C-alpha cells in the first residue's frame, strides 16, 4: 500500500502540513517513520481519515470549497466492482465524488482504496486520473 508524506497528505486534505502534524501529534491520524525519520501516513488510513474529516465538516455546516478547472485531487476511499460496471469514490478535501466506469477500466488503472487520484468533472461525468 502506498504511504503519503505529511505535505502530500495536507494537499489531498486541503489543509496545511502543520495541521496534519498537529492531527498526527494528537493521535487523530496514525503515522510511521521512514528510514530517514520522515513521517508517513498509510494510504488506507488517510482514506479513512479523509472520509471522517469530511463528515465532521458536514456536521459543522462548513461550506465546500470550489475547484479551479474542475480538477479535484484526492484519495480513493471506495471501489465497488460489479460484473461489468464499477463505482469509484474519491474524497477530495471536503468533496466526495463518485464515478461510474467499467470494471475493466478500474482493473487496468489499478484503482484501489488509498491510491491518490484526481477526479475531473465535465458536465455530469467524472473522470479519474491517477497521480504518480
**Residues 50-95 pLDDT 10s:** 999 888 876 766 544 444 467 888 999 999 999 999 999 999 988 8
The H or E element containing residue 105 is helix 103-109
User: Of 127, 61, 63, 55, which is closest to residue 97 (Cα–Cα)?
Assistant: 127
Give pLDDT, residue 131: 74
- Residues forming beta bridges with residue 126, ordered by sequence position: 121
Mean pLDDT computed over every residue of the chain: 87
Give pLDDT, residue 66: 43
Q: pLDDT tens, 1-30?
A: 799 999 999 999 988 899 999 999 999 999
Beta strands in 22-124 (DSSP E): 32-33, 39-42, 71-81, 85-92, 95-102, 116-122
pLDDT band, residue 122 (cuts 50/70/90): confident
Q: Count of CB atoms within 10 A of residue 33's CB?
A: 9
Give the single-character DSSP code of 68.
G
> For 115, phi and psi rounded to 5 degrees?
-80, 140
Q: What's the pTM value of the predicted model, to 2 decimals?
A: 0.60
Give pLDDT, residue 60: 65
Amino acid at each position: 500500500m502506498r504511504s503519503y508524506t505529511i505535505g502530500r497528505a495536507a494537499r489531498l486534505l486541503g489543509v496545511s502540513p502543520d495541521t496534519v502534524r498537529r492531527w498526527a501529534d494528537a493521535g487523530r491520524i496514525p503515522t510511521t517513520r521512514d528510514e530517514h525519520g520522515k513521517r508517513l501516513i498509510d494510504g488506507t488510513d488517510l482514506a479513512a481519515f479523509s472520509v471522517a474529516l469530511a463528515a465532521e465538516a458536514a456536521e459543522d455546516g462548513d461550506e465546500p470549497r470550489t475547484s479551479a478547472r474542475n480538477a479535484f485531487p484526492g484519495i480513493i476511499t471506495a471501489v465497488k466492482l460489479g460484473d461489468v460496471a464499477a463505482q469509484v469514490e474519491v474524497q477530495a478535501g471536503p468533496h466526495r465524488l463518485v464515478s461510474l466506469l467499467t470494471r475493466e477500466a478500474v482493473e487496468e488503472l489499478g484503482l484501489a482504496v488509498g491510491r491518490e487520484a484526481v477526479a475531473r468533472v465535465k458536465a455530469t461525468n467524472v473522470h479519474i486520473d491517477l497521480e504518480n
